[in-house]
C-alpha cells in the first residue's frame, strides 16, 4: 500500500528519542562482528515517539505523517553514495508501506538448518563452490539457501516464512556488505539475530493463556518525492538496502531500522 500527499491534516506528530539506543548495536562484540560483516556504521536504528493511538489500518497515513514531519526529515539519517550520513532533509510526497509479519518467538525456527546439509552439528556452515548473486559472493550452503531460488535447500523455508521479520534480520546479517568477511560458524549470526530481534520487538503475556505475544507491528518503508524518486532508504534497489519500522502501539514509539548497501571499505 502507498499513501500520497494531497491537501490533508496530519493526525500524527513525532519527536526524536535521541537518548534511546539499541543495546545490541552498542555491544563491543557485536560492533566487531558488524565491522567484519561490513555493516558497522551503516546499519542504524533511530527511535521516535508519537502522539496519537496507532492502529494498523492507519499505517499509510501514519507513515506519510512521519515523513512529512520536520522533526523526522530533519533528523532521520541516511547514507550518501560516499557513505557519509546526514538527515534526509526533505518531506516525502508518497510512502509505500508494506506489512511485514512478525509472529515468531523462538529461535528453534532455525533448527532445520542443521538437518538439511546447511549447517553441521558442530555449528560449522557447509561450504560450496563460489557463485555470485547481485554482486554478493556465495561460498557456503547457507548463503545459497538464502539467495538462490534454485538451491536444493531454498524451499526449506516457505515464502511466508521468508517474509517473517526474524528471517529477514537473519538474512541481512548473514549477507552483510560488499566486503563481508563471512563466518565459518552459524553461532555469531544466530546470536546477533536473536539479540537484535529482542531489542526491537515488544512482547506481552496473555493474562488468560499465559502465552507471550508480540505486540509490535513491523513495516517495510519506501519514501518518495513528488517525482517518484526514492529519498529513503535509497534510489537504487538492492536486497541489502532496507528500511523497517517497528511500531510499539502501547508505548507510542517507532524504531526505524535502516541499512544502505555499499561502502566497500572500513
How are the residues of the chain apportioned to helix, strand and coil, as percentages rounded to the nearest 5? Answer: 30, 30, 45
Q: What is the average pLDDT score of the chain? A: 93
pLDDT in tens, 49-97: 999 999 999 999 999 999 999 999 999 999 987 778 999 999 999 999 9
DSSP secondary structure letter of residue 24: H
CA-based R_g, the chain, Å: 19
96: nearest Cα among 57, 59, 69, 44: 59
What values do phi and psi take at 82, rounded to 5? -80, -10
What are the DSSP calls for 175-229, one per residue? H-STT----SBSHHHHHHHHHHHHHH--EEE-TTT--EEE--EEEEEEEE-TTS-
Q: Cell triple for residue 76? A: 532521520
The H helix count followed by the E strand count for the chain is 8, 14
The reported pLDDT for the residue numbered 266 is: 40
pTM for the model = 0.93
58 CB burial (10 A radius; 0-12, 13-18, 19+): middle
pLDDT band at 149 (very low <50, low <70, confident <90, very high): very high
Total residues found in the chain within this entry: 266
- What are the extents of the domains in the chain? 2-26+36-99+215-259, 107-200
pLDDT in tens, 98-141: 999 999 999 999 999 998 889 999 999 999 999 988 889 999 99
Amino acid at each position: 500500500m502507498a499513501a500520497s500527499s494531497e491537501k490533508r491534516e496530519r493526525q500524527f506528530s513525532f519527536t526524536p528519542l535521541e537518548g534511546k539506543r539499541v543495546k545490541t548495536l552498542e555491544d563491543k562484540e557485536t560492533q566487531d562482528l558488524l565491522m567484519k560483516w561490513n555493516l558497522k556504521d551503516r546499519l542504524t536504528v533511530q527511535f521516535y515517539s508519537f502522539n496519537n493511538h496507532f492502529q494498523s489500518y492507519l499505517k499509510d497515513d501514519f507513515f506519510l505523517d512521519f515523513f512529512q514531519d520536520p522533526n523526522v526529515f530533519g533528523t532521520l539519517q541516511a547514507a550518501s553514495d560516499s557513505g557519509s550520513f546526514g538527515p534526509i532533509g526533505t518531506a516525502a510526497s508518497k510512502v509505500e508501506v508494506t506489512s511485514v509479519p512478525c509472529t515468531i518467538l523462538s529461535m528453534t525456527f532455525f533448527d532445520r538448518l542443521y538437518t538439511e546439509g546447511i549447517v553441521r552439528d558442530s555449528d560449522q556452515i557447509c561450504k560450496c563452490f563460489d557463485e555470485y548473486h547481485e554482486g554478493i559472493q556465495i561460498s557456503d550452503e547457507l548463503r545459497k539457501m538464502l539467495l538462490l531460488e534454485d538451491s536444493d535447500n531454498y524451499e526449506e523455508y516457505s515464502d511466508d516464512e521468508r517474509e517473517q521479520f526474524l528471517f529477514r534480520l537473519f538474512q541481512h546479517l548473514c549477507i552483510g556488505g560488499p566486503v563481508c568477511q563471512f563466518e565459518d560458524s552459524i553461532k555469531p549470526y544466530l546470536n546477533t539475530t536473536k539479540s537484535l530481534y529482542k531489542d526491537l520487538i515488544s512482547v506481552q503475556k496473555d493474562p488468560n493463556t499465559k502465552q507471550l505475544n508480540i505486540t509490535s507491528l513491523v513495516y517495510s518503508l519506501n519514501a518518495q518525492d513528488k517525482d517518484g524518486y526514492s529519498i529513503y532508504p535509497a534510489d537504487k534497489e538492492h536486497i541489502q538496502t532496507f528500511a523497517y519500522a517497528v511500531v510499539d502501539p502501547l508505548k507510542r514509539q517507532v524504531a526505524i531500522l535502516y541499512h544502505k548497501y555499499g561502502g566497500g571499505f572500513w
